[in-house]
Structure 1
Amino acid sequence: MNPTATSTDTALAAATAAARLLPSTTPLIAVAARPGEGPALDDIAVLASFVGSRSADVVLVAERAVQGALAAGADAGSPLPLSDALRPALEAACETLGAGVLDAARTEAAGSAVPADAHLFALEHEGVPQAWFALRMRAEPSATAGFPGVPAQRQSLHVLYDVEMTLTVELGRARLPVRQVLELTPGAVLELDRAAGAPADVMVNGRLIARGEVVVVDEDYGIRITEIVAGEQGVI
C-alpha cells in the first residue's frame, strides 16, 4: 500500500469530519487545495496537537465561516471564543485518527500556523472556499525504538499513560433548537432521552467507555461501573 496515498486518505477523512461539525450557516465539502490556494497569511488559525495511536497537528482557518455562530453567542450575552467554536470540529477530525488526546487549542496567524508539509483542504460551499483545514501526520516510532518487540501503536500510546483525561458521566441527552436553548431560564425542566433508573454513560473525550449506576460516596456523587463497553463505540 502506498504510504502517501494512505496519509492523504486519512487527512481527507479528518477534513470531512471537521467540515460536518463546523458551525457554518452553509454546508461545507472538503476538497484538496489546488496549487497556490490557501488561507491569507494574516487570517486567524486555530490549531492543536493530537497525541495517540496516530499523532498529528490539526489546523482550522474558519473565522469567516463561523461568524454567524459567533454573532449569535454575542447577541445572547455569551461571546464564544473562536477556539471554543472550532473545538468540536477539531475533535471530530481527530476521532478519525483513533484513540488519543487533543490538547488545548490556540490561535495564531495562518501564515505560521499551517505547516508547509501538511495536507491542506479547502472547505467549500458551491465551489467557493469558506474555510481551510490542514493536517500534518507525525512520524510513528519504529517497532524496535524504545521498547524492542512492542508494536509501534502500543509504543505511541505508552506516552499517554501519565496524561490526565477528563471523565464525565452522562445521565441523558436532549436535542433542542438554538432558539429554545437561548430561552432557557432558571427552573426550566428538560426531558432527557433516558428512563429513570437506566444506567448512566461513562465518557472520556466524548467516547463511551462504560456504563454504571449513580451512587453517593461520603455525600458526593459517584458512579459504580456495571459494564465496560468494547468495540467501535468504546476505546477499550
Structure 2
Amino acid sequence: MNAPDLTDPAAVASAVATAAGEALPSPAELTAGPAQPGSPHVASAFAGGARVDLDGVPGRIVVLVGQDLVDALAASPLGGLDLAAACQPALDAAARQVGARAHAAEVVDLSAEGFDVTAAVGEEFTTIPLLGIGIDAAVLVAASTLAGARAPLPEDAEPVAVESEAHEPFVPTFVPVPRGLELLHGVDMEVTVELGRTRMAVRDLLALAPGAVLELDRAAGSPADLLVNGRLIARGEVVVIDEDFGLRVTEIVDAAAAV
C-alpha cells in the first residue's frame, strides 16, 4: 500500500480503513468507501465493535462490525471468542497507517443504554464504511488522529474539508447475509499441545530441582492433546521435524467430548 498524502485527511482516513479491511475477518474482500464526517447514527447499523488508543499519535480508532461476525464469534465450536481479540489485527494494521502503535483493543458495547458513538471515539471523527457483500463494517478515526498522522510504520514494527460541500449524515443500510466460520479465518488463536497433567502439593512443587521427574496422568505412547484457546479439539502423536517438535493429528474431538 502506498503511503497516503499526510496533508489530506481523507486520503489518510482511506488508507487507515483499507488496512483495517485487509485484516478484518470477512468472507468477501472489503473495500473502503468514501470518508464521511462522523455521525451519531453510524452505530445503529452494527452489532458490535472494538476500539484502541494509540501510542505515538493522539486519538483513537474504532472498528464497527455487523451481527454476522458477532454471532460467528459467539457460536464458534472453540467457545465464545472475544470480539476485541478478533478485531485487534485490523486495529493494529490501521494504527500503523498513521505511524502509531495500537494499545490492547477493548470491546465497544453498542447496546449499552445511552450509548454515544462520539463519546466512544472520544471526540469528533471521520467514518469510512467497509464494503463487501453489503456495508459489512465501518472504521471511525478521531479528528486528532488524522491531524497528527505520521508516515506509516512497516508491518514488522508495530479528507481535506470542503466548506461549500454539504454532507448528509452517514447512515449505512445493513444487508444481513448468512455466513459461517470463514469470518474467523484471519483470527489468531493460541494453540497448545499437552502431554499430560499431574497434581502436586505446594511443598513438592517448591522442592523441584533440575533432574526431577514428574509422573503424568498418561501412559507412554498415549496421544497428546491439541488445545485451542484452552479447549480440546484434537489428539495426535508427537513427531520431530527438522529438530523441532510437531504433532501429527490422529483424531478430531467432537464438541460434546471436548467439553
TM-score with structure 2 length normalisation?
0.47
Matched, 1:55 2:58: yes
Q: Distance in 2 between matches of 1:140 and 1:12?
A: 11
Alignment-derived partner of residue 18 in structure 2: 16
Higher relative contact order (CA closer than 8 Å, sequence separation 6+): 2
What is the CA distance between 1:42 and its match in structure 2?
Answer: 7.5
1:49-85 deviation line (CA, Å, top 9, x unaligned): 1121x23301111142524641563x23x22011111
What is the CA distance between 1:196 and its match in structure 2?
Answer: 5.9
Q: Distance in 1 between matches of 2:13 and 2:108?
A: 21
In the comparison of the two structures, how many residue pairs are matched? 156
Pairs within 5 Å for 1:75-90: 75-76=77-78, 78-90=79-91
Matched, 1:28 2:30: yes
Check the 8 A contact 1:60/1:90 in 2, yes or no.
Answer: yes
What is the CA distance between 1:17 and its match in structure 2?
Answer: 0.8
Q: Per the alignment, in what secondary structure is the counterpart of residue 92 of structure 2?
A: helix
What is the CA distance between 1:93 and its match in structure 2?
Answer: 0.8
Q: Distance in 1 between matches of 2:146 and 2:36?
A: 28
1:159-200 deviation line (CA, Å, top 9, x unaligned): xxxxxxxxxxxxxxxxxxx9x997543645596xxx769xxx
Q: Per the alignment, in what secondary structure is the counterpart of residue 33 of structure 2?
A: strand
Q: Distance in 1 between matches of 2:116 and 2:46?
A: 6
**Change over 3 Å in CA distance of 1:69–1:188 after alignment to 2:** farther
1:69-117 deviation line (CA, Å, top 9, x unaligned): 41563x23x2201111111111111121224342442323264324662
Alignment-derived partner of residue 64 in structure 1: 67
1:183-218 deviation line (CA, Å, top 9, x unaligned): 543645596xxx769xxxxxxxxxxxxxxxxxxxxx
Q: Per the alignment, in what secondary structure is the counterpart of residue 84 of structure 2?
A: helix
1:28-50 deviation line (CA, Å, top 9, x unaligned): 11112557773307843311111
**Change over 3 Å in CA distance of 1:141–1:42 after alignment to 2:** closer
Q: 2:141 aligns with which of 135, 138, 141?
A: 135
Alignment-derived partner of residue 185 in structure 1: 235
What is the CA distance between 1:141 and its match in structure 2?
Answer: 11
Percentage of pairs with the same residue: 23
Give RMSD over aligned pairs: 4.2
Check the 8 A contact 1:47/1:107 in 2, yes or no.
Answer: yes
Q: Distance in 1 between matches of 2:48 and 2:9?
A: 26
Q: Distance in 2 between matches of 1:140 and 1:116?
A: 12
1:103-162 deviation line (CA, Å, top 9, x unaligned): 442323264324662110111125x311111111427999xxxxxxxxxx8xxxxxxxxx
Q: Distance in 1 between matches of 2:36 and 2:227?
A: 40
Alignment-derived partner of residue 101 in structure 2: 100
Q: Distance in 2 between matches of 1:38 and 1:85?
A: 21
Which stretches of structure 1, 4 residues or more, deviate above 4 A after TM superposition? 33-37, 139-142, 180-184, 186-191
**Change over 3 Å in CA distance of 1:20–1:42 after alignment to 2:** closer
Gaps of 5+ in 2: 151-188, 190-225, 245-259
CA radius of gyration, larger in:
2
Q: Per the alignment, in what secondary structure is the counterpart of residue 138 of structure 1?
A: helix
Letter in 2 for 1:84: A
Letter in 1 for 2:140: A
TM-score with structure 1 length normalisation?
0.51
Q: 2:127 aligns with which of 114, 120, 132?
A: 120
